[in-house]
Structure 1
Amino acid sequence: MDLMLSGKSVFVAAASKGLGKAVALQYAKEGAKVTIASRSLERLVEARSDIREKTGVEVSMIEMDASKGEDISHAIRTAAATADGLDVLVTNAGGPRGGFFSDMEDADWAQAFELNLLSTIRMIREALPFMKAAGGGRIVNLTSTSIKQPIDGLILSNVFRAGVYALTKSLAAELAKDGILVNTVAPGRIGTDRIAELDAKKAADQGRTVEDIQAEAAKLIPLGRTGTPEEFARHAVFYGSFANTYVTGQALLVDGGMVKGL
């Protein structure tokens, strides 16, 4: 299938590793002009080199702290100037710290709000003028299966990822007249550093081995295994492509069947 991404300008946030990097790599394979952003220059350089090695494509890169509005504005405007516009935006940010309601102070809530909800709002706000000028665009918000089923011990993620989904639904209706499609793609248990960190914390808290935690988690997934970043990326890139012409305001769970709710 031709995803109609050749020559399109794509901005992927938090793309120096994990899901963001996998998504950027898939866009590069499709011939898009990709800009990757992250707060770590060292990891950005490594990601750019890896993508070049695997695809032969030279992606652009820019430092961006997703919790800082001025960084977001500079990054997206620079990406648009470099690639002659902006057709696709993939919003993404690292997850907030784990814990329960009783563990959190005001500062934790404020930090998670800035990192996981306000960053998405800011990125979209900066991207919209370029998409409207181009006569359309695609926005993909990376979230979590917690938008459908809260995850124990991740109260901050549960709240603010759900907020991103509400934003997705609202903007899909508001921006349809401009030819801009907005969706969210929600990973379940995908093999990233974030999952490894959460497994290690859970194992330490419960006095168990990481292997026990991983085996227990796999039993909850009908496909019986953790997904790969590459599997996730293929779905995210379709939703954020111009082969997608009639899906907007939706949430796609890439979770191996883990979430059982209708």
Structure 2
Amino acid sequence: MNSTRKPVAVVVGATSKWQSDGRNTKLAHGQAIDDSDLPVGVRWGVGGAIAQKFAKEGFFVVLTTRRAANAAALEKAIIEQNGECMIVELDLVSEASISKAFTTIREQAGDPHVLVYNAGYLEGRDLPPEKELLEHIPVDMFETAQHIASRGPFLVAKEVLPAMRERGEGSFLISNNASSLRGRKRMTGQSLYYPRVMMRTLAQVLTEEYSEHGVHVANVVIDGLIDSPGTRALSRAQQHPEVVMNPVKIAEAFYYLHTQDKSCWTHELQLTPFPTKPSY
């Protein structure tokens, strides 16, 4: 409960599938891994780092995740850092779940001042190479991607933008990736990632509609491998640590966007490791 009525920051997708016991970590390494020697800022990827940053800056942070257990360790870490937070379960595939989650947030925390949409999906990444073409991708797999990348942010925006507009201030920040810029064959199942383009377009539309009402909307393109327990253990990250992105620094970029002066808002920001050519 936000008993002191701090400003509220909601992080949709506060944990990472690459955290120590995440889905991708188990898929890539065959088991959960030990993260006790990792800095606390990188243990839950971008979502966890953003949550910790806003908590340190005096926000009451709401961690949303499909299962509360996924964020229990992150909640504990924030509290140990003298921050305040709560966990709310939210399934982006379900409109009813989204509505219920934000009803709970408004009742127990208050209307969000900041919404960071950090939800991601990894469908298709474990497809074998011979199944990489669109014709082999199951429709239900595509529907999950579409729910998370286009329908989900639309429904979340409907929940938070009215209060931001009435207040005359607020930030709606989208965490996106290079697939939102152009389609290219980088991994199996890549055709599932074109809904990311719709996510980017939604940010552009909301900028047109809500900027004049004092609401800052921005699309953040995170173009690279993000440090976390599961990615740090990958051979690529170990052989080329210079291409690994620090989620703590990514979180600082999100906080910077929220605190920008209205006279010079950034509406799209691309973050790329220095040795890597940016995607366009």
- Please tell me the root mean square deviation across aligned C-alpha atoms, in Å: 2.4
- 1:216-235 to structure 2, matched below 5 A, reads 218=240, 224-235=242-253
Query: Residues of 2 paired with 1:75 and 1:30: CA distance?
Result: 24
Query: Residues of 2 paired with 1:7 and 1:91: CA distance?
Result: 20
Partner of 1:152: 186
Partner of 2:38: none
Query: Residues of 1 paired with 2:277 and 2:230: CA distance?
Result: 19
Decide which of 98, 104, 115 is 1:89's aligned counterpart.
115
Q: Call closer, same or farther: CA 1:253–1:26 in 2, change over 3 Å.
A: same
Partner of 2:141: 108
1:64 aligns with 2:97: no
Q: Matched residue of 2:259: which SS?
A: coil
CA contact 1:7–1:31 (8 Å) conserved in 2:
yes
Q: Matched residue of 1:21: which SS?
A: helix
Q: Matched residue of 2:88: which SS?
A: strand
Please state how far the C-alpha of 1:62 moved relative to its aligned partner: 0.7
Partner of 1:3: none
- 1:1-262 to structure 2, matched below 5 A, reads 7-16=6-15, 17-53=44-80, 55-97=81-123, 98=125, 99=127, 100=132, 101-149=134-182, 150=184, 152-153=186-187, 154-156=189-191, 158-187=193-222, 188-192=224-228, 195=231, 210-211=234-235, 213-214=236-237, 218=240, 224-239=242-257, 241-245=258-262, 246-250=264-268, 252-257=269-274, 258-261=276-279
CA contact 2:231–2:237 (8 Å) conserved in 1:
no
Structure 1: give runs of 5+ residues left out of the alignment.
1-5, 200-209
Runs (4+) of structure 1 exceeding 4 A deviation are 193-196
Query: Residues of 1 paired with 2:110 and 2:138: CA distance?
Result: 43
Identity, % of aligned positions: 21
Q: Matched residue of 1:59: which SS?
A: strand
Query: Residues of 2 paired with 1:185 and 1:161: CA distance?
Result: 12
Q: Matched residue of 2:91: which SS?
A: coil
TM-score normalized by the length of structure 1: 0.81
Query: Residues of 2 paired with 1:81 and 1:230: CA distance?
Result: 30
Please state how far the C-alpha of 1:18 moved relative to its aligned partner: 2.3
Structure 2: give runs of 5+ residues left out of the alignment.
16-43
1:98-149 Cα offsets, whole Å, 9 max, x none, are: 2532431222211110122211111111111221221221010111122235
Aligned length: 236
CA contact 1:66–1:72 (8 Å) conserved in 2:
yes
CA contact 2:226–2:247 (8 Å) conserved in 1:
yes
